[in-house]
Chains A and B, each alone.
Chain A
Amino acid sequence: MASRTVSKDVITLKGSAAIVAEFFGYAANSILYNRGIYPEESFTKVKKYGLSMLLTQDDDVKSFIASITSQLSEWLEAGKLQRAVLVIMSKSSSEVLERWNFNIETDSEVIEKGVSREKCDKEIMREIQAIMRQIASSITYLPCFDEPCVFDVLAYTDKDVAVPFSWIESDAKLINNPQMVKLHSFDTKIHKVDTMVSYKADEWDEEE
């Protein structure tokens, strides 16, 4: 999927954008599975990042995530994407319950001059693996969902970005007084991705 040069250690802008977009796709699938947004039987196992990752087989969700990741890859190549947020909301009340925040820092020199960077692919995969493990283990401290939930994806872009046909401007869908947990980050030397999850504090936690 990612277009890389012959040498494994050289990372180009396009390759880095593909890595980050692919990571987002797999992370979104992992979150949907672990948080129980969709039933377990609708997921299938695949090998990725040295782990058994779960991917949804629902055509609609698959196409939705695929279209989002393709657009994110475009914006990443242009250096216009600042953040990608996966929002989990209550289906009935549309209240935002969780926000999975993927903050992206882009090396402006690469965007302007088109230079490439060097980093070992294995190291990048190791860093991504650590994040995937943390996402899987997040169910130990994140509150359970007592009602059916839906998800949506928000993209924080530069102000001068032309809004594509199938995208519209939206509000940030914030959580009031959230609890936050910072996860690991990974760096391709061109794009640095920081992961953070903020969730609505459980009633038990508030009482404590």
Chain B
Amino acid sequence: MMILRTPPQRKRRVESVPEQDRSPVSDRRIVPYVGPSDDFVCTYHCRQMVKSEVMVALKTAEKLNLEYKSSLEALSNRLSKCQQEHSKCAHHLCSVEQELQASKGRESALQEQLLKETSEHQERFYEQLKRCSELEVQMQKEVEFRRQAELSADAAKEKSSAVEKELLIISENSEREKNRLQLSFSHSQDESKLLFSRVNAELDRKRIQADNFAKEAELLRKSLLDLKEQLKECLHEKSQLEYKLLSCDSPLVKANPSDNQTLVKHLRDELRKAETELHEARQLKSSHTNKEFLTEQLLEEKGRREKVEMELTRFQEVQLHAQRLESELTSWKSLLKQIPDVSCYDDIPKKIAHLQKEIVENMLKVGEGNARLKELQVALEMSNLSKEHTEKECKLAKEETECTSMEVKRLELMLLSVSGECERLKKDAVNWSKQKSGLPGSGQTNETDLETLLEQKEHAIRELGRNLCQQRESINRQHDEIKALNENFRIESKNVKSLERENDRLRSENSLLELKLGHGDYSVENTKVLRMVNTLGINNEAKHTIETLQIELQKAKSKLQAIEELREYSGEVINTGIPEKLLQLKGQIAVLEKREERYKAVFAEKISVFRRACCSLFGYKIVMDDRQRPNGIPVTRFTLQSIYAQNDDEKLEFDYESGSATILVNEYTSQQEIQHQVEIFIRKMNSIPAFTANLTVESFNSRTLS
């Protein structure tokens, strides 16, 4: 067994260093020389050998040292590089932290803004909900009102039906009474006519009688006068005879008693005749007085006849007035039937006031609706703007979070790489430290520095990892908040879409209304179309007539001048009435012109009244238009529009020519239902009134039902 000159040193704890690398001589450790003890003293040769071996070992150790130094330098370089990288990473980390803090600040600001906007949207949403609830309440109220109105309408309908029944009964009664009155009137008329004829006949008879009596009275008067004369003569003869009798009383009395008796008889007969004639005269006188009485009666009867005639005319006027009143009554009754909730005439002003109130309320509601529409539009626009703004901010936040997540990932990768390098460095350092365990001294401090650096790095890496986790958590929270905001945005976008749809609908309605405006359509209930009567055409016609009259005037003036020249030249007496006639003619022309203008104005009034009356009576607004066919034949076109029409396009057009009317095909008549009615009533039955009447009834029913 060889005795060791230098005892081996105590081995340190190196776990990784294998024992194979150890050698008794060249184990690469510089072992301090321990002075030889008496036991271990060797010879010079051995010392030289040992010295050479030591020198070799020194050289190798120096080489190793150099190698280690170079490796140390490399390691230190690498350390510096790592430190630089670490500083860079630290700078980058700082910048990232700053960016993170900035993004945090932005996120917090965004969150605050989002919170504000969400709070504002919530408030608006609550307000809209409140408005919706109010609208719903109003709608419910209106539905209730509508129900009440329907109930009241049903009650009114029932009342109206009852009233209609009563009206029917009353109308029937009135018609019966009217018929009865008419019959009585006709009877009374007939009776009056009979009486009148009788009276006339009696009057005529009495007139004739009176004439006869007058003639008889004259005759009797004449006979009376004759008789009076005869009487006078007789009296005179009598007196003469008496005188004669007295004068020649004695001789004659005895001589002729028979003659005297005959005379006396004759005289008595004449007396009787005279008495009878007197009696007749008295009768004549009485008849004359009767005649006067009869003439008075005649006059009275004449007066009565005139009164009866006056009353007849008045009766006719009253009849006409009654007919007019009846027509007005029927029109009012029909109007009453049309108007709901009206049972009698006193209800009409109340109904009108009620309708006016409803109109005002509806106009207010329409105005409120328009105001709400405008508010909703403004809210729509604001929400659109806020939505766009928040979408942009969300996009920005998303991009930022993506960037931060990318950076975080990059940092993680860097950290992983750095941690890998650190581990490798650790391994290298451990190996180096193990290798260096044979070479103690300067390497230990570097090892401790490296270890401290590694520990610091590990600490920094742990801190970075903690920060990363915190950032991940914050990013996850932000993602959750963003998701919640996105959901809110989806809901609001749905609201916005619905509002946009309403906006589009309103715009389409607006465009339709503008189209209708441009087309010239209008509501017949609220609007009427007027134009001037004295259009330029009529003025031109008047001009033409005035021009022709002026030409005729000039001709007449020229004739007048010629006549005056002739008069002056000839000196004959000309009819001075010509200028007077001219003046008269001029006056007549002026009167005729005024009359023509008045007639035109009156005609215009009357035609408008007639049109309105036709519209109210037959239920059609009639417009007459003169046209000319391409072949030059003039044709009158009538356009009928029912008052129960639901659209302004529901018009009937007829061409009227030489007493016959033909229906024209248009959009309304080409509809199936209308075409069917046209075929039945017009083509088959050849009755336009039946067609129009059926159409009015159908449109009235459809309107009342709707």
Binding site for B on A (CB under 8 A): 60-61, 64, 67-68, 82-83, 85, 92-94, 99, 101, 103, 150, 152-159, 161, 163, 165-175, 178, 180, 182, 194, 196, 198
A166 CB to closest chain B CB, in angstroms?
5
A14 CB to closest chain B CB, in angstroms?
22
Contacting pair A168 B625 (CB below 8 A) = no
Complex Cα gap A83–B522 (Å): 10
With contacts A101-B520, A198-B520 taken as known, whether A61 is within 8 angstroms of B529 at the C-beta atoms is no
A/B interface sample: 28 pairs, CB < 8 A = A60-B540, A64-B532, A64-B535, A64-B536, A68-B532, A83-B517, A93-B627, A150-B537, A152-B535, A153-B532, A154-B530, A154-B531, A155-B531, A157-B528, A158-B526, A161-B528, A166-B532, A166-B533, A167-B533, A168-B531, A168-B533, A169-B528, A171-B639, A173-B520, A180-B518, A194-B517, A196-B517, A196-B518
Contacting A at CB under 8 A, from B511-551, are 514-515, 517-522, 525-537, 539-540
Contacting pair B530 A94 (CB below 8 A) = no
Q: Which of B521, B522, B534, B611 has the most CB of A within 10 A?
A: B534
With contacts A93-B627, A198-B519, A198-B520 taken as known, whether A152 is within 8 angstroms of B531 at the C-beta atoms is yes
Contacting pair A154 B529 (CB below 8 A) = yes
Is the contact region of chain B dominated by helix, strand, or loop, or is it mixed? mixed
In the assembled complex, which residues on chain A have CB atoms less than 8 Å from the CB atom of B525? 159
Quick one: closest A residue to B522, CB to CB? A156
Interface: B628 (CB within 8 A): yes
Interface: B590 (CB within 8 A): no
A167 CB to closest chain B CB, in angstroms?
5
Quick one: closest B residue to A61, CB to CB? B536
Interface: B623 (CB within 8 A): yes
Interface: B608 (CB within 8 A): yes
In the assembled complex, which residues on chain A have CB atoms less than 8 Å from the CB atom of B529? 154-156, 169-172
In the assembled complex, which residues on chain B have CB atoms less than 8 Å from the CB atom of A68? 532
In the assembled complex, which residues on chain A have CB atoms less than 8 Å from the CB atom of B625? 94, 171
Complex Cα gap A68–B628 (Å): 29
B639 CB to closest chain A CB, in angstroms?
7
Q: Indicate with 1 or 0, residue by residue over B196-225, a CB within 8 angstroms of chain A CB atoms.
A: 000000000000000000000000000000
Q: Top 10 nearest A-B pairs by Cβ distance? A: A180-B518, A170-B531, A171-B623, A167-B530, A196-B518, A174-B520, A155-B530, A172-B520, A198-B518, A170-B529
Interface: B604 (CB within 8 A): yes
Complex Cα gap A169–B531 (Å): 6
Complex Cα gap A93–B628 (Å): 7
Contacting pair B518 A182 (CB below 8 A) = yes
Binding site for A on B (CB under 8 A): 514-515, 517-522, 525-537, 539-540, 601, 604, 607-608, 611, 623, 625-628, 639
In the assembled complex, which residues on chain B have CB atoms less than 8 Å from the CB atom of A152? 531, 535
With contacts A165-B601, A166-B534, A168-B608 taken as known, whether A103 is within 8 angstroms of B517 at the C-beta atoms is yes
In the assembled complex, which residues on chain A have CB atoms less than 8 Å from the CB atom of B528? 156-159, 161, 169
Contacting pair A180 B515 (CB below 8 A) = yes
Q: Which of B515, B532, B607 has the most CB of A within 10 A?
A: B532
Quick one: closest A residue to B539, CB to CB? A60
Complex Cα gap A173–B520 (Å): 8
With contacts A85-B520, A171-B639 taken as known, whether A157 is within 8 angstroms of B527 at the C-beta atoms is yes
B540 CB to closest chain A CB, in angstroms?
8
Contacting pair B611 A169 (CB below 8 A) = yes
Quick one: closest B residue to A173, CB to CB? B520
A60-B540, A169-B529 are known; give 12 further A-B pairs, CB within 8 A: A64-B534, A101-B518, A150-B537, A156-B528, A159-B525, A161-B528, A166-B532, A168-B604, A171-B529, A182-B514, A196-B517, A196-B518
A77 CB to closest chain B CB, in angstroms?
17
Complex Cα gap A178–B521 (Å): 12
Complex Cα gap A167–B605 (Å): 10
Contacting pair A172 B532 (CB below 8 A) = no
Quick one: closest A residue to B639, CB to CB? A171
Quick one: closest B residue to A108, CB to CB? B363
In the assembled complex, which residues on chain A have CB atoms less than 8 Å from the CB atom of B517? 83, 101, 103, 194, 196
In the assembled complex, which residues on chain B have CB atoms less than 8 Å from the CB atom of A157? 527-528, 530
Contacting pair A178 B519 (CB below 8 A) = yes
Quick one: closest A residue to B648, CB to CB? A172
Quick one: closest A residue to B514, CB to CB? A182
A113 CB to closest chain B CB, in angstroms?
15
Q: Which of B528, B531, B608, B639 has the most CB of A within 10 A?
A: B531
Contacting pair B533 A172 (CB below 8 A) = no
B643 CB to closest chain A CB, in angstroms?
13
B516 CB to closest chain A CB, in angstroms?
10
B368 CB to closest chain A CB, in angstroms?
14
In the assembled complex, which residues on chain B have CB atoms less than 8 Å from the CB atom of A150? 536-537
Complex Cα gap A170–B520 (Å): 13
In the assembled complex, which residues on chain B have CB atoms less than 8 Å from the CB atom of A60? 536, 539-540
Complex Cα gap A61–B537 (Å): 11
Contacting pair A153 B519 (CB below 8 A) = no
Complex Cα gap A68–B532 (Å): 8
Q: Which of B520, B529, B534, B608 has the most CB of A within 10 A?
A: B520
In the assembled complex, which residues on chain A have CB atoms less than 8 Å from the CB atom of B534? 64, 166
B207 CB to closest chain A CB, in angstroms?
57
A74 CB to closest chain B CB, in angstroms?
12
Contacting pair B522 A172 (CB below 8 A) = yes
Quick one: closest A residue to B527, CB to CB? A156
Contacting B627 at CB < 8 Å: which of A67, A83, A94, A168? A94
In the assembled complex, which residues on chain B have CB atoms less than 8 Å from the CB atom of A169? 528-530, 608, 611
A149 CB to closest chain B CB, in angstroms?
12
Complex Cα gap A174–B625 (Å): 13
A59 CB to closest chain B CB, in angstroms?
10
In the assembled complex, which residues on chain B have CB atoms less than 8 Å from the CB atom of A153? 531-532
Complex Cα gap A170–B540 (Å): 20
In the assembled complex, which residues on chain B have CB atoms less than 8 Å from the CB atom of A182? 514, 518
Complex Cα gap A61–B539 (Å): 10
Contacting pair B536 A158 (CB below 8 A) = no
Complex Cα gap A60–B484 (Å): 76
Complex Cα gap A194–B533 (Å): 26
A24 CB to closest chain B CB, in angstroms?
14
Complex Cα gap A157–B517 (Å): 14
Complex Cα gap A93–B639 (Å): 17
Complex Cα gap A168–B639 (Å): 17
Complex Cα gap A101–B628 (Å): 27
Contacting pair A163 B530 (CB below 8 A) = yes
Complex Cα gap A172–B625 (Å): 12
A196 CB to closest chain B CB, in angstroms?
5
Contacting B530 at CB < 8 Å: which of A92, A93, A170, A180? A170
Contacting pair B519 A180 (CB below 8 A) = yes
Complex Cα gap A94–B540 (Å): 16
B525 CB to closest chain A CB, in angstroms?
7
Complex Cα gap A150–B526 (Å): 29
Quick one: closest A residue to B626, CB to CB? A94
A31 CB to closest chain B CB, in angstroms?
15
In the assembled complex, which residues on chain B have CB atoms less than 8 Å from the CB atom of A156? 522, 527-529
In the assembled complex, which residues on chain A have CB atoms less than 8 Å from the CB atom of B611? 169
In the assembled complex, which residues on chain A have CB atoms less than 8 Å from the CB atom of B639? 171
Contacting B532 at CB < 8 Å: which of A85, A167, A175, A180? A167
Complex Cα gap A171–B520 (Å): 10
Complex Cα gap A156–B528 (Å): 6
In the assembled complex, which residues on chain B have CB atoms less than 8 Å from the CB atom of A155? 529-531
Complex Cα gap A173–B628 (Å): 17
Quick one: closest B residue to A82, CB to CB? B527
Q: Which of A99, A156, A163, A174 has the most CB of B within 10 A?
A: A156
